[in-house]
Amino acid sequence: MTAFAELVALCRRLESTPRRLEKLRLVADFLGRVADDEVATAVAFLGGRPFPASDPRVLGVRGLPEAAGPEGGEPLRLGDVAAAFAEVADASGPGSRRLREERLAALAARAGPAEAEILGRIVGGEMRTGVSDGLLLEAIAAASGADSATVRRAALFFGDAGAVATAWRQSGIDALGAVTPRLGTPLLPMLAEIAGDFEEVLAAHGGRTALEYKYDGARIQLHADGGRVAIWTRRLSDVTRSLPDVVEIARLHLTGTPLILDGEVVALDRAGRPLAFQELMRRFRRVHGVEAAAAEMPLALHFFDCLVREGRSLIDEPYARRWEALASVTGGRYLAERAIVTTVEEAQAFHARALAAGHEGVMAKDLASPYAPGSRGKRWFKLKVAETVDCLIVAADRGSGRRVGWLSNYHLAVRDGEGFAAVGKTFKGLTDRQFGEMTERLWTLALGDDGSTVRVRPAVVVEVEYNEIQRSPTYPSGLALRFARIARIRDDKAPGQATTLEELRALYERQFRRKGRAG
């Protein structure tokens, strides 16, 4: 088995290596040397994760505790660290916090200073070696001899670079090229770009597009095979136990299994009116009293895509055929409201109906488009009334006045390559209860505190409404959100799904289609 010290040595070399190709060579060499049953762990640790990306478990600790003193004994191995992390994540019930701290302290006691530092980085989710998920996939391709495109496609189906590496080590590179959607393994969802108007949409889609209501709910992916049903969020978290009503629908009303469907759920009050998104997230997190919660907060289910039918992958089929398959397996029930339009006037009328029904806006989908897991492009657009972007909270200021005791002024950032670019601050949009909950949450992510501002690990995604994107001399990004306000907390989105600086720049330029440009 591989000594943890070997991973530490690799991290040191990666830190001192500015050239990307050299980093790639070092990582590929390491992945080629670790044991078959260690490669997924190695990929996770190099990506700054205590568990593989497809594993929903979390450690639930603020950081690596200090060891009381060195214990000595045998050197740490990758498997030892993975086993300790599993024990920490699985601790539950009374005294579980103390048990987690004690288990991590025992792990730290076996580590030397350099090992303890890298352990702390993994626990904190911030490796800082310049190894991105993209580089990890390229390293797997280099180590295995497989084509990079084949490895990237396999990663879309596995949803986890570590699983790709494991498949290569266990079954060879031919297995990577043969990967198709698999029941029980969630795929990354296909994503949409923001469109400014319907003229842009119709031009991109050849004069004909399919519009669907854009619901203010949560994305789900449902896998069904006979009586076996599993449901995941867009972050690939398993929420099957929290949605017994959706499981029942799948068992009673869906045909054509084995199948995989993509859709949205919306929380309803007892009168059938949509509830706030945050209420839906509370339902998703329920693991006790689920049946009672389902009765108190029923869900409206809206499917909009069929990825697998009767065990056959449909992702390379055009959207129009996938919709036909979806209508067949659902019997025409539980479908997103939809219309095919060819003119701006038809599109605007459908958009008005969506807003009148209380929904966010519409999705526009190219009828000829395949389903591209994890991909964002012009094949799918979203059009909403309020301009919003998905930002990460990277720091928060201590509150004053009535907000004393809270972290209540949030520093917002978008993704910029492997890092983050600040684009504004806001204290608007949350209720008092949400301020309190967010304060507790951010303290668990704290990386530094200068007495007024707490720097946090960028793990919380928030949807931010804004009036305008402005040029900014203050932020290195060069842009700032004017009148930023948090519209909702996006617990259904992972940090890697936040808006990018490139996308924000495109939105900035798009503003000038409607107004003049100074200078």
- Is the alpha carbon torsion for 432, 437, 441, 447 positive or negative? positive
How far apart, in whole angstroms, are the C-alpha atoms of residue 309 and residue 325? 7
Decide if 214 is catalytic: yes
Type of residue found at 372: A
Structure-block tokens of residue 404: 């004393």
Please check whether residue 179 is in contact with residue 210, taking contact to mean a CB–CB distance below 8 angstroms. Answer: no
Give the CA radius of gyration of the chain.
24
User: How far is it, in rounded angstroms, from Cα 49 to Cα 89?
Assistant: 13
Classify burial at 336, counting beta carbons within 10 Å of its beta carbon; exposed 0-12, middle 13-18, buried 19 or more.
Answer: buried
Tell which phi-psi region holds residue 184, choosing left (phi > 0), alpha (psi between -120 and 50) or beta: left
Q: Is 353 within 8 Å of 370 (Cβ atoms)? A: no
Residues 6+ apart with CB under 8 A from 442: 393, 396, 407, 454, 456, 460
Say how far apart CA 84 and CA 111 lie, in whole Å: 13
Distance CA 203, CA 207 (A): 6
Q: Which of 214, 365, 382, 493 is catalytic?
A: 214
Q: Is the peptide bond before 258 cis (omega within 30 degrees of 0)?
A: yes
**Alpha carbon distances (Å) from 392 to 280, 284, 291:** 21, 21, 33
The single-letter code of the amino acid at 459 is A
Separation CA 280–CA 65 (nearest Å): 35
Catalytic residues: 214
